[in-house]
Amino acid sequence: MITVGYAKHSDPKVAVKRCAAALGGGRPQMLLAFCGGKLDAHAVLGQLREEFGDVPVFGGSAAGAIGRDGFGYSGFELGLVAFNDPDVAPQAVVTRALLADEQAAGHDLGCAVREVAAKGAVVLLLFDSVVSASPPRLHHASSIVRGFHAGIGDKAVCLLGGGLLTDMNLSGGWVFDGEGVLKHAAIALVFPPTVAVDTVIMHGCRPVSAFMEITRIDGAEVYELDGRPALEVIEKMLGLPLGGTRGQELSLVATLGQKQGDPFGPYDENAYVNRLILRADPATGSVSLFEPDFERGARVQIMSRDNSLMLESVRRGIAVANRDIIGPDSLLALYIDCAGRGSARSGAPIEEAELMLRGVASGVPFIGFYSGVEIAPFADEPSRPLDWTGVLAVLRRLR
């Protein structure tokens, strides 16, 4: 019903042909492609049409891809998912209006999904993450998701997905929208009621401060924590030289985390929503987060990105998936992996993606991609964006 292919090659023709061979022939209903940022998007799309005809192609750029046969973030990776059976193939809804207003675009997407989705439907949301590289500006998942929830109203769906990047440096992003290659677009793949999903979220951050109050914030820009310049507070807590970072260093070692539920309950990595630091501004003493969804008065902690905890979280997640989720009805295991978790960025001695691809039970097709942000159901709340996580989503067929 669903087949996958993975390849790594600098020639788009070779990469596509190798993936097509892995898919095993035939004419799929739809293709989902995760394309490394150094591959020419139009060349990949043209080659896919040569191989498969006018089959619609969705997906887009990825900082890297992950398959059973390998993984990487060189920019020359290609991951393909073929939906071969109409009973499990999703229906696509597209918005091309992120640049004008992300929340309004998300609202329109939610309204469109409401019209075609069954109650409880699985919806995979993929979007261009990057507005511009210089200055660094992102399309914020929290704004898109907030609009989506407002648009879909009281029709409950299971939303998951990720932001699309060309590389780990946030240089760009783009989307395959079923017709071509687009900037500032988002797609929602709405699965039929024959498909359900189970998710496991892998974390890897540990609190290194007491709770602090955000006392001044504007959108994603945090100016003050407990009435003091946020950058000063974070650098003192981490032992970094004051004014010595521009966000790159901070993004490698720390996040701001908001604990959900009982703030005084025992430590549980699954209780935290963490926000990566995009950049720091010594002139204003502020730090910019990846998402603008923290508010004045929010209680947060400085979180240290812990590689040993990250790897242990992946091992636990694999064990849960193999024991409790993956079975005879499993259709696809999709791993949405924050690009910052790659060892080139995190400094981890082991690639956590390799643990995942080697560990997930071999009886289910497996593919993954490196993302800018991950979207998944969180605790008992509606789905929300997450940072520095790995989300394993296992699609299964309902009988």
Q: How confident is the model over 221-270, as pLDDT tens digits?
A: 999 999 999 999 998 888 876 555 555 667 778 899 999 988 889 988 88
Listed residues 272, 305, 338: the one ending a domain: 305
What pLDDT sits at residue 247? Answer: 57
Residues 186, 249: one domain? no
- CA separation, residue 191 to residues 89, 135, 313 (Å): 6, 37, 29
My answer on whether 43 and 86 are in the same domain is: yes
**Per-residue pLDDT, 378:** 86
Distance CA 341, CA 290 (A): 15
pLDDT at position 248 = 61
| Pair (106, 195) in one structural domain | yes
Q: Which of 130-139, 189-198, 353-362 has the lowest mean pLDDT?
A: 130-139
What was the pLDDT predicted at 101?
Answer: 98
Instruction: Compute, in degrees rounded to 10, the torsion defined by CA atoms 200, 73, 40, 98.
Output: 50
Q: What is the pLDDT of residues 290-348, one digit of tens each?
A: 999 999 999 999 999 999 999 999 999 999 999 999 999 999 999 999 999 999 989 99
Q: Which domain holds residue 367?
A: 2-202+311-397
Residues 93 and 19 in one domain: yes
The greatest distance separating any two alpha carbons of the chain, rounded to the nearest whole angstrom, comes to 62
The pLDDT value recorded for residue 244 is 59
Does residue 281 sit in the same domain as residue 146? Answer: no
Across 18-44, average pLDDT? 96
Contact criterion met (CB below 8 Å) for 203 and 269: yes
For residues 188 and 288, membership in a common domain is answered with no
Final residue of a domain: which of 269, 287, 305? 305
Residue type, 128: D
Q: What is the pTM of this model?
A: 0.95
Number of domains in the chain: 2
On average, the pLDDT of the chain sits at: 95
> Is the same domain home to 105 and 215?
no
pLDDT at 43 over 90: yes
Predicted local distance difference test score (pLDDT) of residue 253: 83
Q: Are residues 91 and 117 in the same domain?
A: yes
CA 226 to chain centre: 31
Pair (55, 190) in one structural domain = yes
Clarify whether residues 298 and 241 are in a common domain: yes
Amino acid 269: pLDDT = 87
The domain boundary, picked from 305, 335, 366, lies at 305
- pLDDT recorded at residue 270: 86
**CA pair distance 226, 365, nearest whole angstrom:** 48
| 255 and 339 share one domain | no
pLDDT band per the 50, 70, 90 thresholds, residue 76:
very high
Beta strand 70-72 pairing with 65-67: antiparallel
Task: Provide the pLDDT for residue 246.
Answer: 56
Beta-carbon contacts of 100 under 8 Å, excluding residues fewer than 6 positions away, are none
Same domain, 268 and 177: no
